[in-house]
Structure 1
């Protein structure tokens, strides 16, 4: 976008190998090879030349010519885009993919993307030149080229911190000042919805729960049918309500419900629809090894899009068998007490031994008392007999001596 004041033919030759020449005229570099696989879940397009040229202006003291760029999408539709990277050249035939503002890859810092969005909505070509010139207070005849240059300069002011329009036609300056001064009027400027995306694209987990947390974002107004490929028993559920779903919409978060007894496996779901690539969507170069300036859509466009996501899981581990509890030992039956035999009538019960303790003895009563009396009588008889025999022996001895 940087030019000297040399004659145009000389400038084109001298700048063909420079960043400025590539930016201003979209000079063709060697065509970039198509990526091996399309970028999943995002609109793709290729830079195919300039749509419209503006007037030369001076930014930060550098003479620059600006253009609107054509981005041809895979379905053949063409989007008109502005540049949001003042310091990087555009590569001829470079492939681009739609992405989020937060993934801006350029050399500028994309300082205020919300204000860039406002400029796109309120600048050229979203607003026709006559209306824009009147709002800005431009005098005399204002051309589309002037409105384009003023809008691009205002975008650079917010996409590349410190970029200032330092010289231009008075009408360009008037529109530039109007856009820059009014760009903060909206209290909140949100990023436009993605045309269609599912994030993340892959997830993994374990059977017996929900695998994956996939966010669906789309500019399509309504629900999109889900094309599900999954083993029996595996379903797609809304993570907020827990209900099985067969269609999803913008902002829905879903995951795969996998039964606990499922073997190792995987499942996927895909979405396809026709949606709008909205004004303000960022497109960045697909080939990170060959940088190209970052673009942002100046107008809306319809496109057929598709996206998909996949989840895999491992079988739930087998539960460890619980050890069988040891049986409680059965209590041994207490032996039956042997019955005490009753003494026969002829048997004399033996009196209990004497007890030296101070406890009183039990009283002796009944048959036990009769037995004690009989024993006493017998003892007395035995004593009398002993005395009698002793005396008789003594008398016999005396008679023997006398004789």
Structure 2
């Protein structure tokens, strides 16, 4: 249930075979890179911070309606405003609103539960008002008669109007946009939400870890890793690397643990004489994600904010590194939208200094026993991809709404908010298609795959013909 309630001929044949091989190799390599980027531990918003990962499905049927963006000089843009639906990896459903009005939605984009500090909300003094709107409107307030009465509205309010009004009010504070709901009752609700919104603090993550990367010398108990969750019971699963090295995940008393709860402390018991190595422990539970949590996508698909959650699977991961001597770094990485980059925090538990080097450039040096955070600058919308202390991190810095720099509506076919081009009289039809927003981030891969299939098909025809000729 939802809480409170997404010859020349030979040369040509040789060139064809070469192109086919190259294309296949390129596609395999691209797949390997994509796989590395998608790995749970490689995403900075997931390391320690954890939470839900989900795939966007589209606007929820019956929960969106027509609205108009009023741009500079009175220029108008019609959109469909309302609730999105996401499917959670491992099970569960989320309902979200958009907080990035001009950015297009990518079809089937993957999202991760993300702290406000890793999104455009980091620099938004009104971010807390968005959470108030979410908690005081649809679908959290699903008795629409009571909601209309609270807003002083005379007349019947339906789901589509309530959702459109809520989305319009959110855009007011997320993007500084002026959006009018075409239905009068919906517009009155939006005005009430905007005028009554109060600042509320950011909600806590569904599952997060303190000290998600630890390090130290063999023969000691390394940690603690502290678990924070609103779930009842968290499964604790050590990696194969830990098992092979004889490293045990234990509690403060040294007892092996297979589950944890809120505020549990976990340690890694590394045997004396263990060869230098590294491993991880994965934590997983089922819970409802708190309303107001942000969801971001590395594909630049519009950022979302949570309006409701079913019981959903959430995960987090902690890493451990051990050695007998030398520099022994524990590394955590986190997007920092306020500073414009990625914060790299290193704790050196060894007996030699550790240079923090990214892309061939040393950003600082961490002495034995010292913890230091250095900023790796990343431009807005720029991708980053680096490996440090044997760990790979990649992503895209997406900290600003297009509306911040460009107050007029986007010239793209449809803003990220739309569920398709707005049609006159639409009050929440049955379609769930995402906005037609031009080429998505998947387009190059799809095109590449198509080329490979064509080349492979040509190669198959060539070999079949050759075989038939040999048989005659």
What's the TM-score, normalizing by structure 1?
Answer: 0.58
**Counterpart Cα distance in 1 of 2:170 and 2:281:** 39
Q: Distance in 2 between matches of 1:249 and 1:97?
A: 22
Aligned-residue offset at 1:254: 3.5
1:170 shift after superposition:
3.5
Q: CA deviation at 1:179?
A: 1.6
Does structure 1 residue 236 correspond to structure 2 residue 250? Answer: yes
Q: CA deviation at 1:168?
A: 4.6
1:256 aligns with 2:268: yes
- Match for residue 90 of structure 1 among 105, 110, 117: 105
| Structure possessing the higher radius of gyration over alpha carbons | 1
State the match for 2:306 in structure 1: 297
* Aligned length, in residue pairs: 273
Q: Which has the higher strand share?
A: 2
Kept after mapping to 2: 8 A contact 1:192/1:279 = no
1:67 counterpart residue number:
82
Paired position in structure 1 for 2:227: 216
Whole-angstrom distance in 2 between the partners of 1:49 and 1:283: 15
In the alignment, what sits opposite 2:218? 207
1:133 to 140, 148, 159: 148
**How far off its partner does 1:165 sit?**
4.0
* Equivalent position of 1:116 in the other structure: 130
**Secondary structure in 1 matching 2:308:** coil
- Counterparts of 2:53 and 2:163 in 1: how far apart (Å)? 25
1:227 maps to 2:243: no
Q: CA deviation at 1:295?
A: 0.9
Tell me, which stretches of 5 or more residues in structure 2 are unaligned?
Answer: 1-30, 42-49, 327-472
CA contact (8 A) 2:69 2:179 kept: yes
Is the 8 Å Cα contact of residues 235 and 258 (structure 1) preserved in structure 2?
no
Instruction: Name the CA distance, whole Å, in 1 between partners of 2:266 and 2:92.
Output: 31
- Do 1:118 and 1:189's aligned partners in 2 also have CA atoms closer than 8 Å? no
User: Cα gap change, 1:225/1:141 in structure 2, threshold over 3 Å: closer, same or farther?
Assistant: closer
Write the distance in 2 (CA, Å) between the matches of 1:199 and 1:53: 39
Please tell me whether residue 173 in structure 1 is matched to residue 187 in structure 2.
yes
Structure 1 counterpart of 2:161: 146
Q: Is contact 1:119-1:151 (8 Å) kept?
A: yes
Out of 199, 203, 223, which is 1:191 matched to?
203
Task: Give me the whole-angstrom Cα distance separating, in 2, the residues matched to 1:167 and 1:298.
Answer: 19
* Counterpart pick for 1:282 among 272, 278, 294: 294
Query: Structure 2: how far apart are the matches of 1:93 and 1:166?
Result: 28
Cα distance in 1 for partners of 2:273, 2:87 equals 49
TM-score under structure 2 normalisation? Answer: 0.51
Give me the whole-angstrom Cα distance separating, in 2, the residues matched to 1:285 and 1:249.
29
Task: Identify the residue that residue 40 of structure 2 maps to in structure 1.
Answer: 39
1:261 Cα deviation (Å)? 5.3
Would the aligned equivalents of 1:58 and 1:168 in 2 still touch at CA under 8 Å? no
In structure 1, the gaps of 5 or more residues are: 1-32, 318-403
